[in-house]
């Protein structure tokens, strides 16, 4: 006779197997998707094209319980069974904050207005306090079509995130999109990467070092100071590894410490 305790353990095992199967299926789809993207980008570059698809700024992080399979699963440090909740609001929603990234290539100070992007600022406040960004690499530099340095992934591969998502905010701040469906993200802008779907921001963000035309779907939440912008421009001037226009920067950039404080 099967006892109630044995039955509970059996159900737990079955649930675990189902979760592992879902994760494996999402990984398979993500690998296929990335292969297609890489092939498409290679064709564009070979043809001399300079326009990048919006997926160039995707954040691999995604709620691990989501059924969608069009983006990489978040390999969180704990590989928890379920996604973490968005952190509770702990910032002044009317205040201004400064995020400082101490990197091996120079300090980058970023001004953030919580009145415009309260949940984004709150998330960075929470993650910085947890030392989430400390010791992480800026994994991606683009030097053609769009001009950004992407950071915030604890894995350093573009697929990591905090295990929760935050909503898009402030998307109309950069004006109305043109006939090409894009707006200009000015040099110095700091914005959220996402999975290409609404409300999928995690921890990854990008630093715009030269005016870039992009669809208005990436939360612009901060502005770099002049010294920080110059530091990123110096990294960009060195180019990508192997001369690539989209990939790891030739000058490795590590965020040694990130802090967020109210101004």
pLDDT tens digits, 202-215: 999 999 999 999 99
Q: Is 251 exposed, middle or buried (0-12, 13-18, 19+ CB in 10 A)?
A: middle
**Phi, psi at residue 7, to the nearest 5°?**
-65, -40
Confidence of residue 83 (pLDDT cuts 50, 70, 90): low
Instruction: Flag whether pLDDT at 164 surpasses 50.
Output: yes
**Phi, psi at residue 41, to the nearest 5°?**
-65, -40
Q: With contact defined as beta carbons under 8 Å apart, do 143 and 236 qualify?
A: yes
- Cα–Cα dist 191/111, whole Å: 12
- Residue 215: CA count within 13 A, CB half-sphere: 14
Residues 6+ apart with CB under 8 A from 29: 69, 70
Q: Which of 12-21, 34-43, 84-93 has the lowest mean pLDDT?
A: 34-43
- Cα–Cα dist 202/153, whole Å: 9
Terminal Cα distance for the chain, rounded:
66
Q: What is the mean pLDDT of residues 107-134?
A: 98
> Rounded to two decimals, what is the model's pTM?
0.73
Q: With contact defined as beta carbons under 8 Å apart, do 23 and 64 qualify?
A: yes
* Superfamily classification of domain 4-75+84-262: Cyclophilin-like (2.40.100.10)
Q: With contact defined as beta carbons under 8 Å apart, do 152 and 136 qualify?
A: yes
């Amino acid at each position: 006779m099967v006892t109630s305790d044995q039955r509970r353990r059996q159900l737990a095992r079955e649930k675990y197997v189902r979760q592992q199967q879902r994760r494996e299926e999402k990984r398979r789809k993500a690998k296929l998707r990335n292969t297609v993207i890489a092939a498409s980008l290679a064709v564009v570059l070979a043809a001399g094209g300079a326009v990048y698809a919006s997926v160039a700024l995707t954040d691999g992080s995604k709620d691990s319980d989501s059924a969608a399979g069009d983006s990489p699963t978040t390999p969180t440090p704990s590989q928890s069974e379920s996604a973490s909740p968005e952190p509770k609001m702990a910032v002044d929603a009317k205040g201004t904050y400064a995020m400082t990234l101490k990197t091996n290539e120079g300090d980058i100070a970023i001004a953030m207005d919580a009145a415009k992007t309260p949940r984004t600022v709150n998330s960075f406040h929470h993650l910085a306090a947890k030392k989430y960004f400390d010791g992480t690499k800026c994994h991606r530099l683009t030097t053609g079509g769009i001009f950004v340095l992407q950071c915030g992934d604890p894995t350093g591969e573009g697929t990591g995130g905090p295990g929760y998502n935050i909503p898009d905010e402030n998307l109309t701040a950069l004006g109305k999109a043109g006939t090409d469906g894009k707006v200009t993200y000015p040099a110095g802008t700091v914005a959220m990467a996402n999975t290409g779907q609404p409300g999928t921001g995690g921890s990854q963000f990008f630093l715009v070092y030269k005016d870039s035309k992009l669809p208005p779907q990436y939360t612009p939440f901060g502005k770099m100071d002049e010294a920080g912008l110059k530091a990123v421009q110096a990294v960009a001037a060195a180019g990508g590894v192997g001369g690539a226009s989209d990939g790891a920067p030739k000058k490795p950039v590590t965020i040694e410490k990130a802090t967020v404080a109210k101004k």
